[in-house]
Structure 1
Amino acid sequence: MAGYGPRVMDGAGVAEHSGGMQRRAPLGGAEFAPETTFLNSASSGLLPARSAAALRAALDESASYGTMGRDYFGAATASRAAFARLVGVPAERVAVGSSVAVQSGFVAGSLPAGAEVLVPEGDFSSLVNPFAARPDITLRTAPLEALADAVRPGTALVAFSAVQSVDGRIADLAAIRDAARAHGARTYLDATQAAGWLPLPAADFDFVVAGAFKWLLCPRGTTFMAFGGELGAGTPWPAAPHAGWVAGEDPGASNYGPIRPAATARRFDEPHAHYSYVGAERSLALIEELGVDAVHAHNTALAAHYRAGLAERGLAPVPAPGSAIVSTPGLTDAEHRLTEAGVRIAVRGGLLRASFHLYNSTDDVERLLSLLGPRPGR
């Protein structure tokens, strides 16, 4: 819970102190005016007004210019560059795609037969299943908190989410990175539940994937893959078995027959969904304008406020220090009541999961808490 003090302006927007409690207004101004109390960014984010307007314009344009628009590559190129800036790698190290599962399939396909892949217990299926689908790969699991200690000689790849979808636990990125390096293993980081609110050192990992339709506020069908580590420092790029015409060095001359792959990570591009990236360009611009550090401060303050309110009611969420996701056992029966009251929230793994993002406010937190029940003595 925030402390006492006068009205202040911090990096995450205006915070007012009223009745001893710090109050936070939403970030983004007129970009958001949801009809719901939306606390479900871990499932999908809200689309900013600027992105919705761009999509409507693109749909109108397609009536005369086709569904690839007048400039098929422009929005994807701008989105690639924006994502690269957000995670701290050059744009030349970023590929665009459609889903985490497809990118995981690419990483799985790059491994030799007999390779051992280490993943956290219960990590998201889009990350894990493409490795499990290869019968010639050994898939080994370990508790998230013990993942670094579980890396061993012979481990080829450590694949894990920066933030767990089910309960918001944050991985020890540095420890896992260092353990993998010490044993010669590569790393595959899924930043889907982190990119947009949690500062990430993407260059420290060999592969970093992010489904951008959650915290990055992009339309579904927008996914980025960044290449860091040795792959980003001069190691020859691996083969791209899914490469199509857009992955050619000159896409305009790559429509027929074998292509000459692009010299950059663009060789791993999928033919992208044009409308998704039209919206993504504007959404990522908003995240850049606000700044990931400011969004992080805002989100985690709201989550801390919620945790304090739960504690006052004798409720204990899954420990996930510093996370914007708060998942609590014993409350799943509240989902229907919350939905009826216009609160968008999720149940995952027997936990009531609330996720707080830039368009949320202290009022949203207090409305959720009030619907869960009064504090004892009230």
Structure 2
Amino acid sequence: MKTSRDLPNAPAASPNALPTDLIGREFSPNPGYLNTASHGLLPARAARRLREAVEDLTVGRIDQEALIEEVEAARVLWARLVGVAPERVALGSTVAAQVSVVAAALPRGAEVLTVEGEFSSVPTPFLHADDLRLRVVPPAGLADSVGPDTALVAVSAAQSADGRIADLAAVREAARAHGARILVDATQAAGWMDYDAEADDFVVCGTYKWLLGPRGASFMVVPPDGGGLRPVQANWFAGADRWESCYGPVRDLAPTAARFDLAPAYLPWLGTARALEVIEEVGIDAIRAHDLALAERFRSGLERLGRPAAPESAGSPIVSVPGAGAAVEELARAGVSVAARDGGLRASFHLYTTEADVDRALNALEDTSVDTPIDVPG
């Protein structure tokens, strides 16, 4: 599998411009698609690999060892993206299932601190775990709410509903001061944010949004010491020697974070590996600059229309327009794909989005200004 390090004479990506030839090869024009925060678009190379794999499955060309090599390539690419060793990365299928592994390791009575409006995959496993105390606080007060009873702080790096960026530096400082660990959900951040997972204890991430993969694959970063996790989902794939772990109880698990792996559903991982190649080749600096510039263009246009974005969206490629959720269906009829979240309209911008897409959305919103009531916060 080629990565950017294998490409001959590959030019370094500019922090201010995307490689338009690569973007043109990987993405068909999708006018008005402003909904990456719900699901990213699949790159062409990922789609080709999935078609090849489906064809192989129909005619019996199934080489599981070769498929696992591709799964392992995804682990390496993700680890490089977030700045950790691959040995710290476990493979899963959903964020909630991996958060549940962390919840199962906490002592009875432990306090878990999270924020209001957090995506449910983060707090729900703690709520339903044995005898844990889940405390929910306003996002702005998260760091100040960490106390001596806090065992774990669980928060998204970027919030799903409104794009709010967590002050992770403040949370880390408060957690360390009180001996608490941190779990960060990077699902709405990895792929555009310059995020360093080395700074946090546990990191979980679904791959089907900003990482552009198919749904059904997720990553978890664990501390070098394992963080006290127990392999409650242990299986043959988590064995120290997988092909010697197919029968009977698996007594020797992998010495790395792979001991927390789930046996992979191959197709999502094949697509994820190719999608991560694209992210790496384009470069996070270029993606971030592009995404944030488009988000700012959208915010400026909203101001001109008298429909200001939520201030919580500042500095994020996820932009929320409070009270405008009713406009989502009308925008869809105009060929603009956004989402309704928490009563608001949510638009999100990624490497395949263009200025023309932003302007299309603004024009559609202007056309709905008379018929669609908008509650502008005062």
- Please say whether Structure 1 and Structure 2 have the same fold, judged by a TM-score greater than 0.5: yes
**Residues 1:137 and 1:359: Cα distance change in structure 2 (over 3 Å):** same
Letter in 2 for 1:138: R
Q: Distance in 1 between matches of 2:244 and 2:364?
A: 59
Matched residue SS, 2:155: strand
How large is the Cα RMSD of the aligned pairs? 2.0
Change in CA separation of 1:350 and 1:67 when aligned onto 2, cut-off 3 Å = farther
Aligned to 1:312: 304
Q: Say if 2:17 is the partner of 1:13.
A: yes
Equivalent residues of 2:201, 2:227 under 8 A apart: no
Who is 1:282 aligned against?
274
Change (3 A) 1:110 1:165: same
Indicate the residue corresponding to 2:150 in structure 1. 155
Q: 1:48 to 1:128 in 2, by over 3 A?
A: same
Aligned residue identity for 1:80: R
The DSSP-based 3-state class of the residue aligned with 2:303 is: helix
Give the CA deviation at 1:257: 2.3
Corresponding residue number in structure 2 for 1:170: 165
- CA shift at 1:241, angstroms? 1.1
Matches within 5 A, 1:182-261: 182-227=177-222, 231-232=223-224, 234=225, 238-259=229-250, 260-261=252-253
| Aligned-residue offset at 1:365 | 0.5
Structure-1 separation of matches of 2:238 and 2:299? 46
Structure 2 CA distance for partners of 1:143 and 1:108, relative to 1, 3 Å: same
Q: Hey, what does 2:255 align to over in structure 1?
A: 263
- For 2:21 and 2:156, how far apart are their aligned partners in 1? 27
SS at match of 1:42: coil
Does structure 1 residue 338 correspond to structure 2 residue 331?
Answer: yes
Contact 1:32 1:49 in 2 (8 A): yes
Other-structure match for 1:272: 264
Contact 1:118 1:142 in 2 (8 A): yes
User: Is the CA contact 2:126–2:134 (under 8 Å) kept in the aligned structure 1?
Assistant: yes
Q: Which amino acid in the other structure matches residue 364 of structure 1?
A: D
Q: Contact 2:102 / 2:229 at 8 angstroms: preserved in 1?
A: no
Contact 2:90 2:221 in 1 (8 A): yes
Cα deviation, residue 205, structure 1: 0.7
Quick one: which of 43, 46, 50 aligns to 1:51? 46
**Candidates 345, 358, 362, aligned match of 1:365:** 358
State the alpha-carbon separation in 2 of the partners of residues 45 and 375 from structure 1: 26
Ranges of 4+ aligned residues in structure 1 off by more than 6 Å: none
More strand by share: 1
Q: TM-score, normalised by structure 2?
A: 0.90
2:7 corresponds to which residue?
Answer: none
Q: Deviations over 1:57-87 (max 9, x none)?
A: 0111112336675623111100000000000
2:315 maps to which of 319, 322, 327:
322
Q: Which amino acid aligns with 1:101?
A: A
Aligned length: 355
Q: Distance in 2 between matches of 1:237 and 1:119?
A: 20
Normalising by structure 1, what TM-score? 0.90
User: Shift of the alpha carbon at 1:256?
Assistant: 1.9
Deviations 1:81-138 (A, max 9, x none): 0000000001111011100010011110111111100001110001110001125000
Quote the Cα distance in structure 2 between the aligned partners of 1:273 and 1:237: 27
Q: Which moved more, 1:97-106 or 1:28-37?
A: 28-37
